[in-house]
Structure 1
Amino acid sequence: MNSVSKGSDMANSYLSDETITRCESGSKEEKVKLSKDVTSAWSDIDTFAAAIRSGKTSWEEISPDDMDIRLKWAGLLHRRKRTPGKFMMRLKVPNGIVTSEQMRFYGESVEGFEEDVGVVDITTRQNIQLRGVTVEAASTIIAGLHALNQTSFHSALDNVRNIVGSPLAGISPTEILNTIPLTTKINDMLIRSPDGTFGNPRFANLPRKFNIALSGGDDDFSHCNINDLGFHACKSSEGELGFNLDVGGYMSIKRVAESVPLNLWVPEESVVKICESVLTVFRDEGERKNRQKARLMWLIEEYGVEKFTERILEEAGGKEEGGFKDRQEHVIRENYVRQEILGVHAQDEERSRVGLHIPTGRLTRYSCKAIADLADKYSDGEIRLTVCQNIILPNVLNSDLIALEADVNLIDNVDFSAGLIEGNVVSCTGAQFCGLAMVETKANARRVSARLEELVTVPKAVRMHWTGCPNSCGQAQCGDIGLMGAPARKEIDGKKVAVPGVNIFVGGKIGENPFLQLEPRIKGVPLDGEEVVDVLAEILVKDFGAVRR
């Protein structure tokens, strides 16, 4: 007899008896999920907020299991170490498509918070994070998001994270397949209940987080190789639209694994079905005790790639039932050059897409409103986020480009153009808010990249990824240059003392033929002062053809 009540509307009701038995002897998180179903977070947040607003309780009196774990199912991640009592609220923004109304609401949502705490971040999953959120404000923000057809539910801990797609979907002249309809369908399958409301328990209790990305063409702006499921657009030999499927990519403090190809081609109409199939197998059979091994790649290795493919096809109803085929040959188009995101690029004879630089993805309440105003004025209210933490305004009339540039130049923290180094910086949250980060990343990334622009010129864009710790939320291993927070020592007053530092990775690649650089070239470079700048300038000269000014 299991100790868990398996109500028809609870996440635990979807777990088999065997899975629940494994959870009962599993990690602390698994036991917390069993003791009180995680879907309770979707209503508990309203209860907690009302109690605090009425003076009946305070956030300190909320159980740590709720405050630090279960509320993550409502998208609320307590920053207990850096900003106690305040959350980072992570949203769900499939394919990174945002309306001007939603962007304006993000800025309004953080207006009541302290200036240096209440900020908005664009993430490496085309997503939005609101910072400085309190319990009492959270339920109001969630209600506002739902009114705008958006949610924060299912966005943290053991959930499927934001579904990534091509930021040029539907507007790229070279795309094979538009990813927007599919990312929306996958997202809805995961987070909407049968009546269409937000909150679906079916895949709410997974062994760990799960990442899905779809690439619509050769450029792979979605970085499929570091996702649990990576769909690469590819026509079948008969000309049908679909995807070759790679599986198992992820980054963590213990292991970084590049995805592996399956001998499987998925037709467009069966993408949601195969996602359901893999997630069901992962939910039911994935590791529940050792959280470092509770990612899809470990389960794939237990099965073996061929057997794993057979298992997920069985779950999907069979190869013929879903129209699945063996992996299809894809030849990169002749004279292939990866498209640029930043800057002005022709869409058609009358319109352009405009990629705007958001330094390290950090927005303020003011820049959110200003970007929303730009979108209303120039791009039919549409804003697209990228995994490189920038934005695109699509469908801009060519006759409006001069006026758009003038308006952008009036906005702090938004650039119409940027240098080849500064414009390609990616950064995790860093020690300002994250308790795991060993160094502050965003401020240092801006300082160092600006200094490098003064010292050298580079012949092409150099992607510089900053991450505060080995969890690598900033994806240091896939950057042309990656910087990871690490211990360092520096001589001060004749003595070697410990200081914040970085390990430096060189040579990661994205797009076609991606490559993760797993080993740092240089370790323990002090972060303050000019030492890290000098080391990076030398790397830029030797590896990337930079010329000193």
Structure 2
Amino acid sequence: MTIKNQVNPYFAEKKLNKIEKSKLEKDGLLVGSEIEKFAKIGWENMDETDLKLRLKWYGMFWRPKTPGKFMLRLRIPNGVLTSNQIRVVASIVERYGENGSCDITTRQNLQLRGILLCDLPEILRRLREAGLSSIQSGFDNPRNVTGNPLAGIDPNEIVDTRPYTTKLQNFLTNNCEGNSEYSNLPRKWNTAVAGSKDNFLLHNDIVFHPVENNGVMGFSIWIGGILSPQMNAYAFPMNVWVLPDEICNILDTVIRLWRDNGEREKRTKGRFRMYLDEIGHEEFRSQVEKLYGTLTPDPGSIFENSPRSHFGINQQKQAGLYFAGIHVPVGRLTAEDLQDIATASLKYGNGEIRLTEDQNIIITGLTSEKVEELKTDTLLQRFPLAPSNISAGTVSCTGNTYCSFALTNTKDQALKAAKELDEELNLPEEIKVHWTGCPNTCGQAYMGAIGLTGTKAKNAEGVMGEGYTMTIGGSQGRNPTIGQIYRKAIPAAEIKTALKEVLISKFGATEKK
């Protein structure tokens, strides 16, 4: 495939911001042929735009907090990994000692930390051999395609999402070789495929939701989900239904309209939902129909139930087999953790691991005998099958330990608060508490029953420091809601107390005696 810059009349007619000019000057995919050279000359001698911008097209993120120690984001469609792939990731992380770690993201994905540029060619080769990739996993590209973490084993499954998430990823990335048709979007793009009625994915730009139409299984299309500093809203139905073999064609039509006409001068207005709202939802559907052809109306699809908890031992749809839902506190793993998880998946299951959007793991294919053995494994002392309700629902972004955008140390503060609150409170059921270090909301704060967004706040002595804006009321299911601001500028030192008050007053928690 020839990688080229995407040039169309839109770029000639509209003003472009600095980032757009850089992308037009040189497509990020073009640095792929230079990675060997970069590894030899070192990051200090690279062109600044290649270093800080274009390397993201290969998943390699310059981190100002840790100069020279990069973050590498992978692509793992549907969050499905083999034990061998986990071991490859573990060996990469292990190379960097205390600087190396691995985070499960809210897109069923992995981010590796501490990566050195000199190792990137070899890392990409090893990932490729293991069936993994990092291509187009960052910046203005289509991000990891998510789906049902229980795909293929779900007793409540409508469709197995794995073939569709893989098909969509291969389409968007040209089989992970790089696809210049989608390498210069106005902003990032999120795609998801639901497999059951409780797969809540309405925070994505496009969602394929399985539903029958006159006895034929296909997908209804939901569009426009967004979580951002400017706007937080769930996707809405486009009133379009397609057959399974049409999903790539309809996706292509939708993205092209936005790619060629979306905002490229004011970056804060570049997201797909903002374009939809600007031109009107019905007008956008009309434009899709002009390019795609006659559209079949949606027969009616809904997200019926609240998302299930995957924790504990649960029966698969295959008779006599079980899956184990295991809690990974705030999604952070060491090389040793990864190796131990890979070993457990082989020892007790079928050697497969699933990643969930709430940063946990699922081991599949356990027999009843192996279930009892797993329960005695020391791995569960680190990663329990039955976490307490506050810890179970805690989700966190990277935080300012590594991310220069984050205003707060989310992961450490989330871990500490969850542990202490679980010790102090009885909570009737799991509550989703989403922590995000900045308004970019990688931690999906507005989806949480309680959301915490990093900001600056004055402490009791009047000194400015880390703080949070608290939102409450985010929900998923039949009548989903976006969280609403409840309190602003809560000093980080007071956040546990603030959480405790809200859990008691709003969510039925009681003090332990």
Q: TM-score range by the shorter chain?
A: over 0.9
CA deviation vs aligned residue, 1:292-350 (integer Å, no higher than 9, x gap): 1111112212331112112223322x12xxxx4212124677xx674321111111441
Residue number in structure 2 paired with 1:498 = 464
Aligned: 1:249 with 2:225: yes
Give the drift of 1:266.
2.2
d(CA) in 2 for partners of 1:175, 1:87: 39
| Alignment-derived partner of residue 178 in structure 1 | 160
Q: Secondary structure of the equivalent of 1:421?
A: helix
Q: How does 1:72-471 map to 2 (within 5 A)?
A: 72-80=56-64, 82-115=65-98, 117-192=99-174, 198-220=177-199, 223-236=200-213, 238-316=214-292, 318-319=293-294, 324-330=295-301, 338-347=307-316, 348-407=318-377, 409-410=378-379, 413-471=382-440
Is the 8 Å Cα contact of residues 349 and 363 (structure 2) preserved in structure 1? Answer: yes
Quick check: 126-135 or 533-542, which moved more?
533-542
1:99 is matched by which residue type in structure 2?
T
1:121 and 1:362 in contact (8 A); partners too: yes
* Cα separation, 2, equivalents of 1:139 and 1:367: 25
Among 44, 64, 70, which residue is 1:60 paired with? 44
Return the alpha-carbon distance in structure 1 between the equivalents of residues 302 and 391 of structure 2: 33
Q: Matches of 1:467 and 1:59 in 2, distance apart?
A: 29
CA distance in 2: counterparts of 1:84 and 1:470, whole angstroms: 24
Residue 520 (str. 1) matches residue 491 (str. 2): no
Q: Deviations over 1:161-206 (max 9, x none)?
A: 00010111121122211111100000001112xxx56222221111
CA-CA distance at 1:76 after TM superposition:
0.7
How much has 1:391 moved relative to structure 2?
A: 0.6
Partner AA of 1:109 in structure 2: I
CA distance in 2, matches of 1:70, 1:60: 15
2:51 is the counterpart of 1:21: no
Offset, 1:265: 1.7
SS state at 2:53 partner: helix
Q: Which runs of 4+ in 1 moved over 6 A?
A: none
Moved more, 463-472 or 300-309: 300-309
Deviation at 1:498, TM superposition (A): 1.5
Classify the secondary structure of the residue corresponding to 1:375: helix
Report the AA paired with residue 46 of structure 1: E
Rounded to whole Å, the distance in 1 between the matches of 2:434 and 2:123 is 31
What is the deviation of 1:254? Answer: 2.1
* TM superposition shift of 1:411: 6.2
Q: 2:275 is matched by which residue type in structure 1?
A: L
Q: Is the 8 A contact 1:356 1:416 kept in 2?
A: yes
The 3-state SS of whatever aligns with 1:443 is helix
Question: CA-atom RMSD, angstroms?
Answer: 1.7
How far apart are residue 87 of structure 1 and its match? 1.2
Secondary structure at 1:225's aligned position in 2?
Answer: coil
> Given the superposition, is the C-alpha separation of residues 181 and 545 from structure 1 closer, same or farther in structure 2, using an over 3 Å criterion?
same
Measured in 2, the distance between the counterparts of 1:109 and 1:412 equals 25
Q: In structure 1, how many angstroms separate the alpha carbons of the residues matched to 2:33 and 2:454?
A: 38
Partner of 2:38: 48
CA distance in 2, matches of 1:331, 1:472: 26
Q: Structure 1 residues 412, 102: closer, same or farther in 2, change over 3 A?
A: farther
* Structure 1 unaligned regions, length at least 5: 1-7, 52-56
- Structure 1 segment 467-546 matched on structure 2, within 5 A: 467-492=436-461, 496-517=462-483, 519-528=484-493, 531-546=494-509
Partner Cα separation in structure 1 for residue 36 and residue 291 of structure 2: 37
> Equivalents in 2 of 1:160, 1:437: separation in Å?
23
| C-alpha contact 1:488 1:500 (8 A) present in aligned 2 | yes
CA-to-aligned-CA distance 1:447-501 (integer Å, 9 cap, x gap): 0000110111111111110000111110110101111112222223xxx221211
**Deviation of residue 89 (structure 1)?**
0.6
Cα distance in 2 for partners of 1:460, 1:173 equals 23
Amino acid at match of 2:186: P
Residue in 2 aligned with 1:54? none
Name structure 2 gaps, 5 residues minimum: none
Aligned length: 511
- Give SS of 2:180's match: coil
Distance 2:185 2:302 in 1: 36
Q: Mean Cα displacement is larger for which, 29-38 or 69-78?
A: 29-38
More displaced stretch, 70-79 vs 301-310 = 301-310
* TM-score (normalised: structure 2): 0.96
SS at match of 2:103: strand
Cα offsets for 1:369-425 (capped at 9, x unmatched): 111111122221111000000011111111111211222x34674223211111111
- Cα distance in 2, alignment partners of residues 363 and 114 from structure 1: 13
Partner of 1:5: none
